[in-house]
Structure 1
């Protein structure tokens, strides 16, 4: 792919490939060192910590003037020397001192913690890298679908996206049926998806070269639409609203049922679903930037439209938490107005006008 961001894309792909290998090395472990986050937002594993350290050290070495935003912080490692050593040893065993292009590791366990904490920034103007080292940590713990998400945002605009789905077949784009948490690639190849704004989205296996990448076809507004969601696993959302929207649109529900947001965006880009709706229980609940930035670009580059429930574009300058938006509505361009209207109709019918913004 020839674009002004060719260097950024090449480096990010090489680093994400190595991160995917690291995740695959940790995946079979029964004990992945999972600890609950202080903010009660789910578990974090040695894989999450090690991958964020790898992503940050490598991309910071290549682009030292850029800002870095990541999901994890090193507080648990600083208070648990045994866990810290496990993360450090994981980096050494899976990446080590091998001479690999663009791959850089922290120099010590202390430097590793500092590197992870280098991502505790808020996004703003300029060049900002955003990392989700493992999206779908709960499913990763079960050896089910998960993803690694890397995005470059420039002045609030998604510009480069690289996503690894180590358990998802790259041939899914040519297959029928839904993708679920336990849709495991029987060949073990896994998928790498990438995009540069204005230059399309592509997929290949993690083991292949860039020359084998296939451009993803345009999103099509089929009748009926094919939704992707997460059903009955997230307390933050309104399953009854999502089901009613599907009924209003005359589509199957839940369709593709995936816990992680990044695999959901990947399934939309690959055409195994073509619409998603997410309505939080309260207007003061908001998404996190690392679950969406970059991964959304994959769908947009095949012709998808992504807005919030109010029909507004997603504001990636709002901060680590996307406080400028409420929920998500995504569909092919020609179908998006009908999906958005169905969401509004259901909220009014269910007496939830408190969840509708001023339109």
Structure 2
């Protein structure tokens, strides 16, 4: 099956990474050698814009001259992709996948809220009693399908939070039926996000197979995607904040991250109001205004020094990369008395008392911003907050999918994320952040970060963690 990106009305055969690299090599060499005629110029901002490699390059390849110049392939020296273009194709596909997943989540969450008390078909409990919903498995299926369609299934390896065992149990038939129905409803809208929908609806076995592809265990070598389909499921079920998080890791390093926050408003001033109030107000405002319902997607690529935010796609609109994206950056506040810090809502895997003591000792005076999920990372990257601290109770192990996307976005937005000893988080040890020193500290700048690290050292002995 071929994929297409409607913003350029051209088809892109799914031929794999090698094919794209060769074509880029030809074009780059022609430009450098001066062989590229004025009649078929390269788009002027090819190397400067953050717009995706696939779409920009497809514009170039549509030129008739490429048929003649393609014959020169064998005689051209190999040229590596520039830093600005590397991973751009993967980033654009990942953003489209997360946008599509967020659209699915919004529909499911609206259904959960409107059918409160009768949603047993859509919510289950994991072994640790945390909730998991139809959206978790459906998003996993959608993202797995999208990455495979656009990048080639042979090139895609995914670490994801949910497995297929629960869905395969005999007593989960209703849940599985709901997942299959939700996935097919979402795939019917695939053209809005730049991919051809399947020729026929996916069967139950197809959906289970797509979800089961997410069986990578990570590690120090190779390339794999990390997906948390619905980060903050408890917030999701309650109609509150949650996130869809997708990151690409290669040889143990996070190369790109995408964070979809469907209930996180584009405008900061909306953040101080209760989410249910926003839902009421948004129904009274024009559909073109930046309302609570719109939400946002943040993304970044390693080494770019830039992080971007774009609004969620409106119903019945076509996704056009980069979808009105604007650059975001961390706050410049370094005075603790003026800084806002985030912490998890739930006390189950984080000590509120210890973070409160740290905040006081450092001089953080504002009330903490308690939000579900990796929305905390988004808040810092956008400049809405300055500090995120998480110190888990003994025995709790941090999973890589809970942090990978958020970490790279904050870093490229100008912030810092380390463990409590000041060392970078290590994503090369498999499914967990092994060797984590006490906890995780994310800050908008070095001054606040240093003060918190010092405060942790001074008070850890009395923390009882």
TM-score (norm 1): 0.89
Q: Check the 8 A contact 2:184/2:202 in 1, yes or no.
A: no
The residue number in structure 2 matching 1:158 is 254
Distance 1:126 1:176 in 2: 41
- The equivalent position to 1:36 in structure 2, one of 125, 130, 133, is 125
Distance 1:67 1:75 in 2: 19
* Cα distance, 1:179–1:289 mapped onto 2, change above 3 Å: farther
Q: Check the 8 A contact 1:178/1:255 in 2, yes or no.
A: no
The residue number in structure 2 matching 1:116 is 211
Q: Check the 8 A contact 2:108/2:135 in 1, yes or no.
A: yes
- The equivalent position to 1:8 in structure 2, one of 87, 90, 96, is 90
* Cα distance, 1:151–1:351 mapped onto 2, change above 3 Å: closer
Alignment size in residue pairs: 346
Structure 1, gaps ≥5 residues long: none
* Cα distance, 1:168–1:297 mapped onto 2, change above 3 Å: same
Larger gyration radius, structure 1 or structure 2: 2
1:243-286 deviations in Å (ceiling 9; x for gaps): 100100111355211121x111111111111111111221x322
| Superposed counterparts of 1:9-158, under 5 Å | 9-29=91-111, 30=115, 31=119, 33-38=122-127, 40=128, 42-63=130-151, 64=153, 65-79=155-169, 80-96=172-188, 99=191, 101-102=194-195, 107-124=202-219, 125-158=221-254
Distance 2:278 2:235 in 1: 12
* Deviation (angstroms), 1:211: 5.3
* Cα distance, 1:338–1:43 mapped onto 2, change above 3 Å: same
- The equivalent position to 1:170 in structure 2, one of 255, 259, 266, is 266
The CA RMSD measured in Å over matched residues stands at 2.3
- The equivalent position to 2:370 in structure 1, one of 250, 253, 257, is 257
Q: Check the 8 A contact 1:160/1:197 in 2, yes or no.
A: yes
The residue number in structure 1 matching 2:77 is none
Distance 1:41 1:343 in 2: 31
* Deviation (angstroms), 1:103: 6.1
Structure 2, gaps ≥5 residues long: 1-49, 51-83, 283-290, 314-318
Q: What SS does the aligned partner of 1:189 have?
A: coil
1:306-344 deviations in Å (ceiling 9; x for gaps): 111222210101111212214201112232111111112
Q: Check the 8 A contact 2:309/2:326 in 1, yes or no.
A: yes
Distance 2:230 2:237 in 1: 11
- When structure 1 is superposed on structure 2, of 203-212 and 159-168 the one drifting more is 203-212
* Cα distance, 1:211–1:144 mapped onto 2, change above 3 Å: closer
Distance 1:309 1:178 in 2: 29
- The equivalent position to 1:323 in structure 2, one of 409, 414, 434, is 434
Distance 1:306 1:41 in 2: 30
Distance 1:281 1:178 in 2: 29
Distance 1:155 1:182 in 2: 43
The residue number in structure 1 matching 2:350 is 237
Distance 1:292 1:180 in 2: 25
> Structure 1 residue 203 and structure 2 residue 299: aligned?
no
- The equivalent position to 1:213 in structure 2, one of 315, 319, 325, is 325
Distance 2:409 2:277 in 1: 20
Q: Check the 8 A contact 1:22/1:95 in 2, yes or no.
A: no
- When structure 1 is superposed on structure 2, of 324-333 and 146-155 the one drifting more is 324-333
The residue number in structure 2 matching 1:271 is 383
- The equivalent position to 1:246 in structure 2, one of 342, 359, 373, is 359
* Deviation (angstroms), 1:291: 0.9
Distance 2:434 2:275 in 1: 28
Q: What SS does the aligned partner of 2:384 have?
A: coil
* Deviation (angstroms), 1:153: 1.1
Q: What SS does the aligned partner of 1:167 have?
A: coil
Q: Check the 8 A contact 2:354/2:463 in 1, yes or no.
A: no
